[in-house]
A and B are shown apart, each in its own frame.
Chain A
Amino acid sequence: MNKLFAISQAVITDAIRRKVVWAVVVFAALMSIAIPALPSYGVGIVDGVFRQVAIALMWVAALIVALALAATRLPVEIERRTVFNVVARDVRRWQYVVGTWLGMFVVLGLVLVAFTVAAIAVGWVSYSRPMFLLFEATFAVWLEIGIIMAFTVMLSTLFGPVTSVVGGLVLAFVGHGVVSFLHLSELERAPAWFPSLDVFNVINPVALGGGVSWVYLVAMVIAFCGWVSLFMFGGSLMFAGRDL
């Protein structure tokens, strides 16, 4: 595990020092300032709509950061041969894949926390109250995008950045397409037997309700573990079979 964490730490340090990650955060934070002034929402932006838009913005920003990191890390490491110094040591291929994903997952969390703090600050100024409930949505987005990140990392063990990004985007949208697949009304919950990412959709409970329960949060974590395990296992197998 020490080796896995060592790889994660290197990924975190490397990503944090790259300006692109923080450029996305700053841009998203600036966009959150514009929320109260958005047109096309009818009369004014009430605080519930503010939270909805903030969550949507958070999700998109997180997706951009996730795909940018996850789709490029392994292909670049392989192309530049920086992976040789790691894999030639007594480091298993699965440790490299999982450690890389874990580091990116931590960076994603830091980005989301930074954005959420900014959004809460904007909401506090605009609506005179702190919307700490947004952190529940942050947690859900973090888990969901972490899954998409794991899938993208899995693809990147064999394919280039473009294919990996496309794959990640497909999962992001297909993961919420159960309503279409099963011809459900959009107000219905996705059935439990159909694997989807809808379990991480907490927009209405956070934006318009009182949030979700602890049990629901635990359920999200369990679903997250299932998805990530699947993709990391697949990614490790794919990477183990690859000639470097």
Chain B
Amino acid sequence: MPKHSAWPLHEGQAGSIVEEEKEGPMNVAVTPEKRDASTDGAPAILIEHARKIYGRASGNRRDAVADVSVSVSRGAIHGLLGPNGAGKTTTLKMLLGLVRPTGGRFELLGMDARKPGARARVGFLPEQPYFPQQLTALEAMTLYGKLTGLSASDIAEQAASLLSRVGLEGSEKALLSKFSRGMLQRLGLAQALLGSPEVLVLDEPASGLDPVGQRDVRNLMLSLKDEGKTVLLSSHQLSEVETVSDEVTILHLGRVAARGHIDDLLNVSGQTSIRAVGDGELPQAVSAVMSDLAATGSTVVFSVQDADARTAVEALYNGGWKIVQLQPKRASLEDYFAALLESHRADAGSNSQGEEGVQ
């Protein structure tokens, strides 16, 4: 029987993963786990019971953020998701001092985010960034370098290398008024990296970029993680978040709808996904227990209950099939997200009907 082990989680569902037995079928690829680094010390980002109400004075009260709590471990990539109007950007703005919170506690690397110096080690990429039009890229980087507190020599060194890192080499002296949307996005990433900040807050970092650019951004985030940096990523591109994030928090209508490690949220509890290559029909023992079969050429992918995983593996092996991959069954983040929102809407609907019934 495969072993299951519980993960330490911040909050959310306790999940499990099938661990490979040392004996038994061989050469089975296991999807590398994306685990966060050490959680020693204060979290890199801590948001507790954040609240933002607009329009209290005018009477048009709107709860942009009702009650949001997020904790981002040091060295992790944390995705902040939610539909439009969920409160993602407002939460980030409260964290970074762009918006005054109505309530809540905000900490950056253990410091109160409102205090001077708290944001000294934080880099921020706003959504669809703009820059002073009459400056060149290098002048803009120099400006932000000075605002970060870097010396002139550090600015000179970092500005050129960061512009090159984000693919803007050769455009240092071009006026920003001539930059395309994608180039401005890249410049936004570059300025966020000035001073080698420990924490990066990125709001839609791949916005406006072509597929190659989006890939570059993903690789950049993963390399930042390798460097030990913490990334808080807000994005609509679920595939991007799923690929790079260790943890996610999903917001809906100003509240947290779900949070936890990606694997725990997406792994379908109690099921195992098997990918195998072979000729002919699947063994009867496999057909009896499998579900969700997808076949492409000689490759098949299907799911079985965890309890039937060994039976299926042995049947395949005996039938001359080659087992390519064995992992916990996993929903896509998109499917999970859609299902979560649907259930929230259904709950909201039934609550209102319940209230009507009471009336």
Contacts and interface: CB of A to CB of B under 8 A. Distances in A.
A–B contact via C-beta, under 8 angstroms: yes
Interface of A: 2-3, 6-7, 9-10, 13-15, 17-18, 80-82, 84-92, 241, 243-244
B118 A90 contact: yes
A10 B191 CA distance: 15
A161 B32 CA distance: 56
A60 B197 CA distance: 47
A89 B130 contact: no
Given A2-B146, A85-B126, A88-B124, A14 B98 contact: no
Interface in B109-150: 116-120, 122, 124, 126, 128-135, 139, 143-144, 146-149
Given A14-B132, A88-B119, A243-B93, 4 more contacts: A7-B147, A81-B130, A90-B116, A90-B118
A100 to B, nearest CB: 11
B124 A85 contact: yes
Contacts of B98: 84, 87-88, 243-244
A107 to B, nearest CB: 12
Contact of A3 (B128, B129, B135, B146): B146
B193 interface: no
A90 B120 contact: yes
Contacts of B173: none
18 contacts: A6-B146, A18-B134, A82-B130, A82-B131, A82-B132, A84-B126, A84-B129, A85-B129, A85-B191, A86-B147, A87-B98, A88-B97, A88-B122, A88-B126, A90-B148, A241-B100, A243-B98, A243-B100
Given A80-B130, A81-B130, A10 B143 contact: yes
Contact of A81 (B129, B135, B143): B129
B132 A92 contact: no
- The 8 A-B pairs with the shortest beta carbon distances in the complex, nearest first, are A6-B146, A17-B134, A88-B124, A84-B126, A14-B134, A90-B120, A244-B98, A88-B96
Contacts of B54: 243
Nearest to A6: B146
Contacts of B30: none
A18 B118 CA distance: 35
A220 B26 CA distance: 88
B99 interface: yes
A10 B188 CA distance: 17
Contacts of A241: 100
A15 B116 CA distance: 30
Contacts of B97: 87-88
Given A10-B143, A241-B100, A243-B98, A89 B124 contact: yes
Contacts of A17: 134
A92 B114 CA distance: 10
Contacts of A2: 146, 149
B99 A85 contact: no
A86 B149 CA distance: 12
Contacts of B118: 90
B90 to A, nearest CB: 9
A14 B177 CA distance: 11
Contacts of B132: 10, 14, 82
Nearest to A79: B130
A47 B143 CA distance: 46
A6 B93 CA distance: 23
Contact of B134 (A3, A13, A87): A13
A17 B122 CA distance: 31
Contacts of B126: 81, 84-85, 88
A10 B93 CA distance: 24
A82 B132 CA distance: 7
A47 B55 CA distance: 60
B119 A89 contact: yes
A244 B119 contact: no
A158 to B, nearest CB: 14
A89 B129 contact: no
Nearest to A93: B97
Contacts of A3: 146-147, 149
